[in-house]
Amino acid sequence: MFKLLILFVSLAGQATAATTNLPVSFGVVLFPAFQALDVFGPLDALNLLAFQYPVNLSLIAGTLDPVSTKPRSGAMNPMNSNFSESVLPTHTFATAPPLDVLIVPGGLGTRATDLNDTIDFVRETFPTLQYFVSVCTGAGIAARAGILDGKDATTNKRAWNSTVVWGPQTNWITHARWVVDGNIWTTSGVSAGLDGMLAFIDAIYGADVALNIANGMEYVRVTNSSDDPFADLYGL
Amino acid sequence: MFKLLILFVSLAGQATAATTNLPVSFGVVLFPAFQALDVFGPLDALNLLAFQYPVNLSLIAGTLDPVSTKPRSGAMNPMNSNFSESVLPTHTFATAPPLDVLIVPGGLGTRATDLNDTIDFVRETFPTLQYFVSVCTGAGIAARAGILDGKDATTNKRAWNSTVVWGPQTNWITHARWVVDGNIWTTSGVSAGLDGMLAFIDAIYGADVALNIANGMEYVRVTNSSDDPFADLYGL
């Protein structure tokens, strides 16, 4: 009986090996013309995780002004639509608290030439993180920050060519819904961020936790990281 | 040649029959503790539609103060997490412009007893709309506004029982990713809003438009409205 108890404790210890140091403090960087679902796919999953684990979120930008999905130029808004959403940051790059997980979304805004403060923040924060997650062309920001050098990574498939040029030292994986290399998670385009985040929750908090969240979202998720029809669709 | 030209014009006219009066003005109501993906799944698809069609968006709430996903009570935040996002309204219920499409999200906030202004806005706006769309438990708000009386509709499957009570005159459809009855579109829980909105875009703007947007989101969407494993999962 004593031996059985020891074994049980040991097994439980193994099963939750990754949980001894569970991430608590999450951050998301916001920049003009971010892609909405890149942010709110992963965050909706994490909003539900927050009912089961004590976690906190910082939304981090250059200033505390609302950050909009609005296209940054007329060329990026050919129909002259007035269609965007604005999200309120909680912190600036200067005031962000220590983070366990940093999430970098993508979007047309990643093509901007004035993202140095965002890129610097990613570069300077990375060494203190438990995990880094990029969604979509957010991998381009990560690459420009140098943190994907020598790493396996993926990114948006439609914007593949214009993104991978930022990471000449990166081993870009074409057929991947998401890629894990050490503590770096990179996902493919837009909706892939939700699958990547659910896989992250699965790996870090447990399969039952991820399944419960996906079921709560009524989402049939992609569980095979190499299941990626869009690589073929876009001729990669 | 002349006949062929006439025929071509006629066919084009048929193909775009639904487009003679395309929706331009979209609105989304926001209330405290809305579900993030209920809003940003559909809006991400519409953000991409905005590159192809001239559309505009109003985010409508009781005041112009930021509206948060934050749980409204300690009971709804059992782990005492600090994890939420705030979105900036563009209009109040009093200042909202005429709308062609009104979208009502769900979330734990739909259970609140102080949503009368939201419900009144839905009731008063509905007669002037081309289309109404609810996501998730947003159907509960629509039901309380009376606009689902005598209609087929669906809602979140995990929150089914607590939502359908608001619509005793509604024909609630259990096994449905989304339901269309006349100009009323209701979707199942959370991520179903994205499939429902893509189906809406497919029906109104064309299959090629919807496919292009889904491919841009790298999203393999549910195209069969009765493909709903979550009705069984939750025993409905």
d(CA B126, CA B135): 16
Given CB atoms, is A51 within the 8 Å cutoff of chain B? yes
Q: Where are the beta strands (DSSP E) in chain A?
A: 25-29, 56-61, 67-68, 86-87, 91-92, 101-104, 131-134, 152-153, 171-172, 178-181, 184-187
Q: What is the mean pLDDT of residues A199-223?
A: 98
- Which residue out of B28, B85, B212 would a mutagenesis test of the A interface target, given it has the greatest number of A Cβ atoms within 10 Å? B85
Confidence of residue A169 (pLDDT cuts 50, 70, 90): very high
Residue of A nearest to B76 (CA): A51
Determine how β-strand B56-61 pairs with β-strand B91-92: parallel
d(CA B85, CA B78): 18
**CB < 8 Å to A49, chain B:** 83
Q: How far is A3 from chain B (nearest CA, A)?
A: 34
Given CB atoms, is A43 within the 8 Å cutoff of chain B? yes
- The residues, ordered by sequence, that sit 6+ positions from A164 with a Cβ below 8 Å of its Cβ are A143, A155, A170, A172
Q: What is the mean pLDDT of residues B137-158?
A: 98
d(CA A212, CA B170): 29
Q: How high is the pLDDT of residue B72?
A: 93
d(CA A68, CA A36): 9
Q: Which pLDDT tens digit goes with each residue over A91-136? A: 999 999 999 999 999 999 999 999 999 999 999 999 999 999 999 9
Does the beta-carbon distance from B85 to A87 stay under 8 Å? yes
Cβ-count burial of B126 within 10 angstroms (0-12 exposed, 13-18 middle, 19+ buried)?
middle
Q: Among partner residues B52, B82, B192, which is closest to A57 by beta-carbon distance?
A: B82
Q: How high is the pLDDT of residue A211?
A: 98
- Helices B207-216 and B36-49, axial angle in degrees (round to 10): 120
Please state the ipTM of this predicted complex. 0.91
Does the beta-carbon distance from A79 to B219 stay under 8 Å? no
**CB < 8 Å to A227, chain B:** none
Q: How far is B168 from chain A (nearest CA, A)?
A: 24
d(CA A22, CA B170): 45
Q: How high is the pLDDT of residue B20?
A: 66
Indicate the domain borders of chain B: 22-72+84-233
**CB < 8 Å to A188, chain B:** 218
Q: How high is the pLDDT of residue B197?
A: 98
Q: Among partner residues B49, B80, B85, which is closest to A59 by beta-carbon distance?
A: B85
Q: Is the pLDDT of residue B1 over 60?
A: no
| Alpha carbon distance, N-terminus to C-terminus of chain B | 58
**CB < 8 Å to A215, chain B:** 158, 230, 233
Determine how β-strand B25-29 pairs with β-strand B56-61: parallel
d(CA A115, CA A34): 12
Q: Among partner residues A55, A78, A88, which is closest to B88 by beta-carbon distance?
A: A88
Does the beta-carbon distance from B88 to A83 stay under 8 Å? no
With CA atoms as reference, report the closest residue to B177 among B190, B187, B162, B164: B187
Q: Among partner residues A26, A69, A217, which is closest to B190 by beta-carbon distance?
A: A217
Q: How high is the pLDDT of residue B16?
A: 42
Scanning B18-37 for CB atoms below 8 A from A yields: 26, 35-37
Cβ-count burial of B3 within 10 angstroms (0-12 exposed, 13-18 middle, 19+ buried)?
exposed
> Any bridge partners for residue A102, and if so which?
A27, A132
Does the beta-carbon distance from A218 to B191 stay under 8 Å? yes
Q: Which pLDDT tens digit goes with each residue over A28-77? A: 999 999 999 999 999 999 999 999 999 999 999 999 999 999 999 999 99
With CA atoms as reference, report the closest residue to A214 among A40, A23, A36, A45: A45
Given CB atoms, is A103 within the 8 Å cutoff of chain B? no
Cβ-count burial of B151 within 10 angstroms (0-12 exposed, 13-18 middle, 19+ buried)?
buried
Q: How far is B1 from chain A (nearest CA, A)?
A: 33
Question: 3.40.50.880, 2.40.50.100, 3.30.70.2500, 3.30.710.10: which CATH number matches B22-72+84-233?
Answer: 3.40.50.880
- The residues, ordered by sequence, that sit 6+ positions from A203 with a Cβ below 8 Å of its Cβ are A18, A180
Q: Is the pLDDT of residue B6 over 90?
A: no
Scanning B132-171 for CB atoms below 8 A from A yields: 156-158
CATH number of A24-68+86-233: 3.40.50.880
Confidence of residue A20 (pLDDT cuts 50, 70, 90): low
Count CA within 13 A, CB hemisphere, residue A220: 13
Confidence of residue B92 (pLDDT cuts 50, 70, 90): very high
Tokens of B119: 């419900």
The backbone torsions φ and ψ at residue A112, rounded to the nearest 5 degrees and listed phi first, read -65, 155
- The residues, ordered by sequence, that sit 6+ positions from A86 with a Cβ below 8 Å of its Cβ are A66, A67, A68, A69, A70, B87, B88
d(CA A227, CA B209): 24
Scanning B186-225 for CB atoms below 8 A from A yields: 188-192, 194, 215-220, 222
With CA atoms as reference, report the closest residue to B94 among B50, B61, B139: B61
Residue of B nearest to A58 (CA): B83
Q: Degrees (nearest 5) of the Cα angle A86, A90, A96?
A: 130
> Any bridge partners for residue B28, and if so which?
B59, B103
Q: Which pLDDT tens digit goes with each residue over B99-112? A: 999 999 999 999 99
Q: How high is the pLDDT of residue B12?
A: 38
Does the beta-carbon distance from A50 to B217 stay under 8 Å? no
Q: How far is A4 from chain B (nearest CA, A)?
A: 32
**CB < 8 Å to A36, chain B:** 40, 43-44, 47
With CA atoms as reference, report the closest residue to A36 among A102, A92, A87: A87
- Helices A192-205 and A207-216, axial angle in degrees (round to 10): 140
* DSSP codes, A217-236: TT------TT--HHHHHTT-
Q: How far is A85 from chain B (nearest CA, A)?
A: 7
